Amino acid sequence: MKNKTLTTWITLLFGALGLHRFYLYGSRDAIAWLMPIPTALGVYGFERVAEYGLDDVMSWWLLPLLGFHLAGVCLNAIVYGLMPPERWNLRFNSEAEPEAEAGQTSWLTVFAVIISLMLGTVFLLSALAYSFQRYFEVTV
């Protein structure tokens, strides 16, 4: 039985590494194995900024990649948290009844959705602001 609250929190906390996909789909999920790549590239972008400064062109591409990736992970947590119990159990707990406990929404699920919404907004707007700032600095 896949628990919706646990999945939402795993997605929020460890989604950038793909652990939520391993929890839901198992170790054969190709997307789960690919999810750490944009995270690692974004962290490398931070290292390049620390080493070469803000004028490093490669970091201009890598940092927004991390922001957009983290915003997508937060969006995924929101989708999982807001999924109706019937649909959750039909999709991830097909052997269970539609109103099974694993698909129910609790206050912990709601808190995870709220935190995901706040963090996702910060990540998305930060990535957009950094991208536009670098673009306009180069074109002017």
pLDDT, tens digit, for every residue of 91-115?
999 888 878 888 899 999 999 999 9
State yes or no: pLDDT of 23 exceeds 90: yes
Distance CA 97, CA 119 (A): 33
Rounded to 10 deg, the angle between the 57-82 and 107-139 helix axes is: 160
Confidence (pLDDT) at 13: 97
User: Taking the CA of residue 120 as centre, how many other CA atoms within 13 Å lie in the half-sphere pointing to its CB?
Assistant: 18
Q: Is 70 in contact with 123 (CB distance < 8 Å)?
A: yes
Angle at 4 between CA 103 and CA 78, to 5 degrees: 120
State yes or no: pLDDT of 140 exceeds 80: no
Confidence (pLDDT) at 127: 95
